[in-house]
Structure 1
Amino acid sequence: MVSIGNIEIPDFPLLLAPMEDVSDPPFRALCKKQGCDLMYTEFISVEGLVRDADKSVQKLDIFDYERPIGIQIFGSDEKHMRKAAEIVEEAQPEILDINYGCPVKKVVNKMAGAGILQDVDRMVALTKAIVESTDLPVTVKTRLGWDENTKYVVDVAERLQDVGIKAISIHGRTRKQMYKGEADWSLIGQIKENPRMHIPVFGNGDIDSPEKAVEYKNRYGVDGVMIGRASIGNPWIFREIKHYIQTGTIHRPPSIEERVEAAREHLQFSLEWKGERLGVVEMRRHYTNYFKGLPGIRAFRQKLVTEYDPDTLMEILDDLKVHYMDADVLA
């Protein structure tokens, strides 16, 4: 087992990365069903929590079947970070995670997310303050550094461990890279080789297949992998990786029925959690991914992203299933 403080998860766990507008409860439910071991909420603004903003507070929603789960926060003001930690604790997750990796300009400009990589001393002091303000295990998600000249993550990981974090997840790019280029896991491997490190180290970046997950596990010795973009519209990646680890063989791809059923479940939960209008509109980004690669899908996709009536959307999904099953298309 892998231990994060007093939380135990299976050996070589598969983690769902916190993704804004993606890793909400409807999407997390699908990933959990497919074998994800540890999930995180979308990142939550501490300023929003302190102000009791509806959008931020709603992101605290967690469900028992999701456990263990981490709530992720971002911010730069120590007083507000401490207060947010208290608010998060009341929501009763297993883990509190700090986002030091988001590269988005509006976050970075406030010295939050990856912005704090420009001031490592402040990053360590802020982490220490949060660890001291909660009984929850505190974990960190970060990047290699601000740019090519500041890739100090090996030292940063050790310093963060010294102030009390219980695990660290590292995206193998700098802030300057955003999501471009290939993720570099060599420094993640160096952290695992550091004899002073004793907390779990999870690697993130470019894990998009079972083969790559196992290759990086063996090459870099990480305790687990965190999967982000490759899971969007593809929650089956978790079961596929686990199957490959256990058997050395490739799991069959999801069938048409499984794809449609996942889209239906996702839509239904979105309607229940977000309300009809938001549930319909925010689901649109996912249809392309669920049905990616199907020949002639464009006509169905156009209907799915322009229709507002939930019942009609369900009918379109049923028609899509019948169409591709009749055409004997292997998904």
Structure 2
Amino acid sequence: MNKLSSAVRLALSVGAVAGMGVVGTAYAQDQASQQPSEQKAQSLETIVVTGSRIRRVDLETANPVFAIDRAQIQQSGKVTLGDLVQEAPSIAGAAQNPQVNNGGGDGASTVSLRGLGAQRTLVLINGHRIIQSPSAGGVDINQIPANLVERIEVLKDGASAVYGSDAIGGVVNIILRSNYQGAEFSADYGISDRNDGERRGFSATFGQTGDKGSVIAGINYNKFDPISSADRDFAKDATYLYSGSVIKLGSSRNPNGRIFLPAGDPTRTALGCSSVTKLPGTDGTSRADYRCYSGATDSFNYQRLNLILTPQERTSAFALANYQL
């Protein structure tokens, strides 16, 4: 009995020690298996840093964003941002550009999203507002050299709740190049098939990048010759829309003047018309110097003096640097 009880006690002691060893090993393996999962969970965390409140990924925002990257800018052959941006389908309305000189014509190009006006479209550079041009009624994006731009983000929906009333039409965010290393040169020349509208330009860009920061600098030059409306058949005559028909008719404010005669005036009674104009080459001192005004022959064709392309010459120098403290 003593031997039997001793054997039983020995067996129970060995089993308890073995059980503790198994439990300890299982606990160690469980701890080891949890450590990689915790590290993996930490590696899945992401931080998105953008230069503005415009989100670049359409799946992460409820607002549509249209982007133009640097490759598209180079492939377009456009030498100014105005010519490039105004070709986007979301740009509509009477946005000013060098091809519109009625009430403008200073070479500026503005952005009017959805036709709501340039003053209701917010333009940003790297997420920061820039000063609007008083003469253009908005931001002249031609003042930004095309060789300095990395991409252009266009928020095609109203964002007045975020940016204010100047973003009712939308937001255009121009992202400038950074961390550029090297140098590049480009030249441009073009002329129309009528041997007018000649354009020439060149640009140079230099950049240096280090561990703590980068610097980019360059120069941009463009010159455009004018194109007169009188040299194109589709633009040489002032046209008006009356009763569904397009007719050629100029302004009644002509160089010889138009005088409206009151009822009972002797000249009105004698000529049988309510308005007269001065005959060319006369001094207008006598009644014989005037005849009845006719819109078909006496109206002033102002289109002969208008321009299809406004002449302009631009020189831009730029430098952009950043350093990480």
TM-score by length of 1: 0.22
Of Structure 1 and Structure 2, the greater strand share is in 2
Of Structure 1 and Structure 2, the greater helix share is in 1
TM-score by length of 2: 0.22
